[in-house]
Every structure is written in C-alpha cells, then in structure tokens.
Amino acid sequence: MLWVKSFHIVFVTSWFAGLFYLPRIFVNLAMMPPESVAERERLLLMARKLMRFTTMLAVPALGLGLWLWLGYGIGRGAGNGWLHAKLAVVVLILGYHHACGVLLRQFVRGTNRRDHRWFRWFNEAPVIMLVLVVLLVVVKPF
C-alpha cells in the first residue's frame, strides 16, 4: 500500500505542476500582440504539449487514488468524511483541468475574449484546491 500511496503522491504532484504552469502560458498568450505570430505559435505548442502531458499524469494519479480507496479501503467507515470532502475537491480539480482544455482550444481557434488579468486569477484556483486537499488528507477534520 505504501508504494501505491507514494506513486499516487508523485503523479498528483506532477499533475498539479502542469495545472500551475498551463494558466501562466495562458497569461502570456492573452498578452500577445496580434503581430507576434511566431511567439504565439511557440506558446501554443508549449501549451498543447503541457496539456497532453498533464492529462497523461492525471490518469495514473486518479487510478492509484481509486486503488487506494476501493482496493485498500482507505476512507471507508465512520469518521472518514474527510475523504468525501477530498473527492469533492478532486471533482473540482478535474473540472479545472477540463476548463484548461476548453481555454486552450479557444486560444488555438483565436476566440479567446479574456484578458491577462482574468488568467492571473484563474491561475490561483489550483493552489487553493491543492491546499484544501492537503489539509483534508493530513488533518482529517471530519
């Protein structure tokens, strides 16, 4: 079980690294002047590759988490409300990940309507969600 936990933590950490960096690329894309075609294409390439890699990391992170939950029974029984709260936050994180994909497609099509300030705020969401997950797992308040 400790091996599964260890790999779960590594994959989740790597997944979050991508979720932290991808919106920073969006900030740069939103600030890009229309005449900077080469720079825009390079940032889009970086964003596409990062999105693909981040998605590839999310799959084992979620799979190992499910293994811990269903296979080892972590979080089952009385006094484990923290896991339900954590799973709710994980659903929010998955929604954020999906939203990043939608925003990337908007940049690719050239239909983004948001400015760089919006993306700076959007970039803060995964930090808040990560703090919630860590607090729920370590403190187990419920």
DSSP state of 11: H
Residues belonging to the binding site for heme are 8, 86
What is the structure's pLDDT at 95? 97
What is the structure's pLDDT at 70? 81
How confident is the model over 91-137, as pLDDT tens digits?
Answer: 999 999 999 999 999 999 999 999 999 999 999 999 999 999 999 99
As a dihedral over the C-alpha atoms of residue 95, residue 98, residue 100, residue 101, rounded to 10 degrees, the angle is: -170
Q: Domain total for the chain? A: 1
Rounded Cα distance, 107 and 112, in Å: 5
What is the structure's pLDDT at 50? 97
How confident is the model over 1-60, as pLDDT tens digits?
Answer: 889 889 999 999 999 999 999 999 999 999 999 899 999 999 999 999 999 999 999 999
Length of the chain counted residue by residue? 142
What is the structure's pLDDT at 110? 94
Confidence (pTM): 0.91
What is the structure's pLDDT at 21? 97
What is the structure's pLDDT at 67? 87
Residues belonging to the binding site are 8, 86
Radius of gyration of the chain (CA): 17
Residue 115 CB-density burial (10 A; 0-12 exposed, 13-18 middle, 19+ buried): exposed
Q: Which domain holds residue 105?
A: 2-139
